[in-house]
C-alpha cells in the first residue's frame, strides 16, 4: 500500500513527494462519544496500555492497524478529557498532567497526549495523541456550548487517507479564529518535515495550507502569526550546508490563511 510505505519512511527522512491532503472532515452527533470514565482510571487501565502497545507494534512491523483499534484508544482519551473541559473553570495544566499518566513507555520515545486551547469563540480545544515515534498520531477537536463540549471533528488517517500520522506536533495560532499548524516528521538529523495549517469553523476542520517537504526547518509562533525557516536550496556536496535559507511568515487575515512575507537569509555552512 503506497500510503503505508510513505508513513514508514517518514519515521526517518522524507523520501518522496506527497499527495494532496483531504480538505475537510466533520462529525455528526452520532459519532460523539458518551462521557464516562475519569482520567486517572483510564490512564491506569491495562486495556489502554494494551491498545497503545498494539498500535506501536503494528506500525513498527509495517502491519496495517485496524481502524477499530485506533478509534477505541482515542475514544478512551475522549472520555478522559471531556469531563475535565466541561466544568466552569477548566484547569488545562492539571488535565495535561493527568494525561501524562497515559504514557505507557519509559522513556516515552515520542509518546504523549496533550490538550491545547484554540483561538476563537466559543472556546474549542484540540487533543494531540502521539502513540510513540513508531505509532500513529491523531488530533481530536472538542467544541460546543460551555459545559457541553463534545467531539466535533478529527484528524487521522481514516478521516483523511493522506494524513501523515507517523509523528506530529501541534501549534495553535493565537487570534480570533481556531487555526493551528500540524508539523509532521522532523525526527531526522536535518529536521525534515511537512507543515500544514488547519481552520476549525465550529463544525468542520479544513486544511488551508501545506508546505513542501522541507529540511533544516525551524518554526515559531509570532505575535502576528506563524514563521517558518527552511532550506530552499541545499548543497548536494554537504547535506548540512544550504545555499538558500528561506524565511516565510503566515497569518490568518480576512478569513483566510495568507503568506505575509518571504525573505532570504544568509547561507549556512558551505553555502555561497
- Rounded to 5°, the CA angle 239-243-249 comes to 105
Which pLDDT score is estimated for 47?
92
pLDDT above 70 for 11? no
Which pLDDT score is estimated for 43?
54
Q: Using a pLDDT cut of 90, give the percent of the chain over it.
A: 59
Question: What's the mean per-residue pLDDT of the chain?
Answer: 83
DSSP E strand stretches across the chain: 24-26, 111-117, 125-131, 137-143, 150-155, 168-173, 178-185, 193-200, 204-210, 215-222, 225-235, 238-253, 256-265
pLDDT average, residue stretch 115-119:
97
Going by C-alpha positions, the residue among 234, 170, 239 that lies closest to residue 205 is 170
Q: Is the backbone peptide bond immediately before 106 cis, with ω within 30 degrees of 0? A: no
pLDDT above 50 for 62? yes
Distances (CA, A) of 76 to 82, 145, 258: 10, 22, 37
Give pTM, 2 decimals: 0.82
- 228-267 pLDDT tens trace: 999 999 888 888 889 899 999 999 999 999 999 999 997 7
**Higher per-residue pLDDT: 167 or 145:** 145
Amino acid at each position: 500500500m503506497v500510503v503505508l510505505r510513505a508513513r514508514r519512511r517518514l519515521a526517518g527522512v522524507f523520501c518522496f513527494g506527497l499527495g494532496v491532503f483531504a480538505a475537510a472532515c466533520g462529525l455528526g452527533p452520532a459519532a460523539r462519544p458518551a462521557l464516562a470514565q475519569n482520567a486517572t482510571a483510564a490512564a491506569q487501565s491495562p486495556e489502554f496500555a494494551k491498545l497503545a502497545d498494539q498500535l506501536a507494534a503494528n506500525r513498527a512491523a509495517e502491519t496495517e492497524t485496524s481502524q477499530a483499534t485506533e478509534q477505541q484508544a482515542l475514544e478512551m482519551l475522549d472520555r478522559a478529557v471531556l469531563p475535565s473541559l466541561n466544568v466552569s473553570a477548566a484547569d488545562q495544566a492539571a488535565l495535561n498532567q493527568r494525561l501524562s499518566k497515559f504514557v505507557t513507555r519509559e522513556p516515552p520515545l515520542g509518546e504523549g497526549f496533550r490538550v491545547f486551547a484554540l483561538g476563537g469563540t466559543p472556546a474549542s480545544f484540540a487533543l494531540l495523541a502521539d502513540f510513540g515515534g513508531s505509532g500513529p498520531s491523531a488530533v481530536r477537536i472538542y467544541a460546543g456550548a460551555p459545559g457541553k463540549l463534545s467531539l466535533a471533528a478529527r484528524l487521522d488517517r481514516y478521516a483523511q487517507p493522506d494524513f501523515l500520522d507517523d509523528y506530529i506536533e501541534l501549534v495553535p495560532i493565537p487570534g480570533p479564529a481556531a487555526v493551528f499548524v500540524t508539523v509532521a516528521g522532523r525526527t531526522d538529523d536535518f529536521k525534515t518535515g511537512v507543515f500544514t495549517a488547519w481552520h476549525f469553523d465550529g463544525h468542520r476542520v479544513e486544511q488551508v495550507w501545506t508546505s513542501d517537504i522541507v529540511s533544516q526547518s525551524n518554526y515559531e509562533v509570532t505575535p502576528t502569526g506563524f514563521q517558518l525557516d527552511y532550506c530552499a536550496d541545499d548543497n548536494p556536496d554537504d547535506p548540512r550546508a544550504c545555499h538558500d535559507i528561506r524565511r516565510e511568515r503566515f497569518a490568518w487575515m480576512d478569513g483566510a490563511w495568507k503568506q505575509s512575507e518571504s525573505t532570504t537569509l544568509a547561507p549556512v555552512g558551505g553555502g555561497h
